[in-house]
Amino acid sequence: MQKDSPTEHIDDITKEPITEESGRTIPFSFDGNDYEITLTNRHAEALRETFSKYIAAARRAHKS
């Protein structure tokens, strides 16, 4: 019987393989478009840091 292999994820910036423990897919929206990006934990933190000043100044949008 063939065993299922774990799904391999790839960091969209560096193309390095990542596991569930070392990264994740992050959904976000910008200019009315929805995106998702798979990043290592290190790159995900860099993305959060980059967005943090904009998020701090923004207000939450209400979905209609």
C-alpha–C-alpha distance, residues 37 and 9, integer Å: 11
Report the chain's terminal Cα–Cα distance, integer Å. Answer: 49
Q: Which domain holds residue 32?
A: 9-57
Confirm whether 63 is domain-assigned: no
Confirm whether 3 is domain-assigned: no
* H runs (alpha helix) in the chain: 41-57
pLDDT in tens, 12-64: 999 999 998 999 999 999 999 999 999 999 999 999 999 999 999 999 988 77
Confirm whether 21 is domain-assigned: yes
Confirm whether 2 is domain-assigned: no
Confirm whether 4 is domain-assigned: no
Residue 18: give its domain's CATH number: 3.30.60.230
Domain tally for the chain? Answer: 1
In this prediction the pTM is 0.77
Q: What is the mean pLDDT of the chain?
A: 90
